[in-house]
Each structure stands twice: as C-alpha cells, then as structure tokens.
Chains A and B, each alone.
Chain A
C-alpha cells in the first residue's frame, strides 16, 4: 500500500494586502494559510489513499509557526504531520529547500509525493520538479485530474490540448485546480488535529547561493487614457496600432 507524502507550505492569505516596509515585505499583520494549490494536492493524496489504501503524510519545511498549516492538513484528513527544520537555517534558496525536502521524503520512505503547482508566495513552481530530480523520480506538473484505477493516471496540459499520462514508478505530482472540489475539515477532524503531534525532523541543506537583496512594491503604472462610450473603441484600436505598436 502506498506511502503517500503531500508537501504543504504556509503562505499569507491570498487576499491579504502586502505591505512593504523599508526594503522588506512586512508580513506581521497577515493571516497565514495553506497555499491554495496545496489544498488540491491534499485532496488528490486523500483520493489516492481511498483508492489504494496506505497512509498520507503532510510534510512542510519551516520553523514552529508552520505547525498550524500541518494541523489544518490533519483536520482535512491526512494521517501524519511532519515538519523538517534546522535551527541554523535562515532564508534558504531553492537548492537548499529542495535538498532538505528530498532528504525528508527519503527518510519517510515515500512512494509518491503530491504538491501544489506553485506556492502562492513565490509563484515559482520549482519545488515539485526539483525534489523529483533529486530523488531520481519522474515528475508530472500542473495536473488537472487524477485517477487511480490500475495505477496513477493524470491529466496534464500539453501544447494544443491536454494529455492523459500514466505514471510509472515513483513520482512527484504537482496539482492545479482543474475541476477538483476540495473537502473541508469537519468537527471531528478539527478536534483530532488539536491533539495531533507534529513530528519534527532534521535534514542537511547546502549553503544558499541566491540571497534576497530587497523587496519593493510593484512599479506604479502611469495613468492610462480613458474614454466614454463604445464609439471610442475605434480610437483605441488606432492607438493600439500607432502608439502601442502591439497589433
């Protein structure tokens, strides 16, 4: 029966206002949530378990304040919750994060890993394929559907359409929204999550070679031109050709 791991990340609520103070984003007042795409990964992992049995372990990387998203995952229905952290870590780059997660996944004895297609903070989408490469596993990214009859079959976008891919062997699978409805925690799940223990593990991470220099508000866009009435569309079309040169 499969040992299923789902990667989750603590991020600011996507509706939060992002304030920059000095040369860093000030996140002291934001509400923290599980990154929304990770919820689709949790849902896919739970569906996999319902089809094939096994266990689902939610894994995150971060200091103790990440425990809340693990408990949120527990309330939704995962079996185990694990946090990888080393007190010497600070502002890890992608190489360090992926190395530590790959080590934790190996130590957990996972057969398959699910994650969100990107995290809502960086939007990078590097963790899934990067962890897969370090494990020597296959990866399929941005899946919109999954089924588990006779092996894992996923739907993934390809140029000009989508493809149904059967996943052979161990894999890291990153999940898009697709048409998936995610389950919400029930009262029993929330009660169980309160009592649940986070298993904190350690890992090694190489030194970071990418360092944050500054964070800033997005550049203000100069005010555009605004016209009243549908007939102005003719003038806008002309400007798109003669001023913007985009058509």
Chain B
C-alpha cells in the first residue's frame, strides 16, 4: 500500500475534528496514512490517533506559534515522509499544502469532494461544474470538510520531531476582531442574513440564534455592499468566503449565483424568505416562506428548548 501524509488541522491549540475525516480520505485513496501535527506543544498530538493510522509525528517548532506559510512548509516538509499529502481545504491548510507540494515538485488538487481510486473530484467555476482528475504518482490533495466520515479515534503512537523553520515574515501585531463571534470560515453551522433583513441592526436576531447553536453569522454580498456596519469578513459568496458547513441557514437572501457559489455545497441548507419564488428555495433542504420577523422568533425558541 502506498503512503500518505496527513497534515493535521489544528484549532485553538487542539486537533480539529476534520482531521479524522482526512484519515477516511487517505484510506479512500488506498493509502496508509501518517499524521503530521504542526505544533508548539507536542502533547496535542496525543489527540491525533485514529483507526488505520499507525504513526503520528508531532512536528514541534517555534515557527508554529504564528502562521507563516514559508516556515511552516519548510518544517513540515523536513519532518514528513514521502507520499500523497492530504490536508483540510481550509484557507490556511490549502496555502501550506500548496507550498509543501511545490517544495517537493508535486502538483496539488484543491477542494476535493469525492475520491474514486486515484480519481479526485472538485468543484470548478464556483460550483457551477465539477471536475474529475486522475493522479499518476504523488501529489498534494486538500479535502473539504463534511464530505468523508470521521475515522474512529484510537491511541496515538506519537514521535516528536523538533523542527524550526526560518520565519520569512514577521507578525507585528494580531488585531483581534471586535466581535468574539466565530468566523464563517471556521464554523460548522452558519446563519446568514441578506438585504431582506431590512437593516444591519436586525442582524442581532441572527446573532441570538447563532448563540443558541454555537454558529457563526454571515452575510450576502448585497448586505455587505448596502450596509457599512456589515463587514466584508462576514461575506459568504464568490467575492467573499466559500463555506462548507453542516448547516447553513439563509435568512432574507434571494440566492443570487454570487451567493450560491460560496455556500451551495453546505450539507443542509435552510432558507427563510418571504418570496416563495426566491431561487434560494431550489437549493434548500428546508424552506420557510415567511418574513424573518415571523420565522426567527419561532425558530429561536424551538432551538433553545431543544438545545437546553
């Protein structure tokens, strides 16, 4: 069986759940994976053991305290064995995987949503079409979240490699976001508002539901362009962020191509819109034809009683 290297996804100093999905992707490729954990504290690699994984390498280095693509790629490359490189299709991991691939003279296939032998399928043209490519030999592959089942956890067989990379950029200051809220790019549940919300103040109703669900709040391009109070960092869509959550709730969003491009691959989509003919409904698993004023209080109280 050929080898693969999984670059573990980490979040807030621990292993992110998508890493278990990468193990299933590695097995679907017919490979035997080694998990590589970029970290400053090797103990987090204890959480990166899975059925089907015989070896976990904690790559420990000061360079991993802040993200610098060049030093991360150098340190990961030095510690990782050869084989197909597999990473999560998050903005940062796509970036570092591209550098590791280039370092090894390999090609990269990003945003994979299906694997059949050595054939990999990804969306192209913002999801308006799908493309299947075949690999001959090693390559790097990034895999979207919520596509493959999570492999079961088991005890990790960890070896630690001390590796420092030369930092090529210097982080001067980290500017914390004004809001403590989760970013749409990091969230498993997203509730987004469009111009149908009427005013940016009404996004507080989305925030209440987000608080109940532990969700991020997003926005359509129309909302971001119309209201200065809704920052571009919240924008989901072609000129914003592409998201792939388990659940996407679109409120007062008509479903323009621009928006669909950023969220159509979400696992479940709920649409709330007063216009029964809004295009968003043809992409929704559950559609509610109603104004947000009618629907959101009911949704919030129903979800609150379920989650409590």
A166 touching B169 by the CB < 8 A rule? yes
Instruction: Add 6 more A-B contacts to A95-B105, A98-B102 (CB < 8 A).
Output: A122-B110, A139-B70, A141-B91, A166-B170, A210-B107, A213-B134
In the complex, B6 has a CB within 8 A of chain A: no
Give 27 A-B contacts (CB < 8 Å), ordered by A residue.
A14-B258, A14-B261, A15-B257, A121-B125, A124-B108, A124-B110, A129-B69, A129-B96, A138-B169, A144-B232, A161-B176, A163-B67, A164-B171, A164-B173, A168-B168, A178-B232, A209-B106, A212-B132, A217-B130, A224-B269, A225-B285, A229-B288, A230-B298, A232-B295, A233-B295, A239-B286, A246-B247
Q: Mark A116-149, 1 if CB is under 8 A from B, else 0.
A: 0000111111111111111001111110100000
Cross-interface CB contact of A163 among B171, B269, B285, cutoff 8 Å: B171
Q: Mark B123-167, 1 if CB is under 8 A from A, else 0.
A: 111111111111111010000000000000000000000000000
Cross-interface CB contact of B172 among A129, A164, A227, cutoff 8 Å: A164
B124 touching A121 by the CB < 8 A rule? yes
Tell me whether chain B's interface is mostly helix, strand or loop, or mixed.
mixed
B132 touching A133 by the CB < 8 A rule? no
Query: Which A-B residue pairs are the 3 nearest by beta carbons?
Result: A230-B294, A138-B168, A133-B102
A165 touching B299 by the CB < 8 A rule? no
Q: Which residues of A contact B (CB under 8 A)?
A: 12, 14-15, 17-18, 20, 25, 36-37, 93-96, 98, 120-134, 137-142, 144, 153, 155, 157-169, 171, 177-179, 206, 208-219, 221, 223-234, 236-241, 244, 246-247
Contact A133:B110 (CB < 8 A) given known A211-B133, A213-B133? no
- Residues of chain A contacted by B296 (CB below 8 angstroms): 230, 233
A168 touching B134 by the CB < 8 A rule? no
Q: Which residues of B contact A (CB under 8 A)?
A: 11-12, 66-70, 73, 91-92, 94-96, 98-99, 101-103, 105-111, 119, 122-137, 139, 168-177, 183, 185-186, 189, 213, 232-233, 238-240, 242, 246-247, 257-258, 261, 264, 267-270, 272, 276, 281-291, 293-299, 302-303, 306-307
| Minimum C-beta distance from B1 to chain A (A) | 20
B289 touching A234 by the CB < 8 A rule? no
A226 touching B127 by the CB < 8 A rule? no
A36 touching B239 by the CB < 8 A rule? yes
| Minimum C-beta distance from B302 to chain A (A) | 4
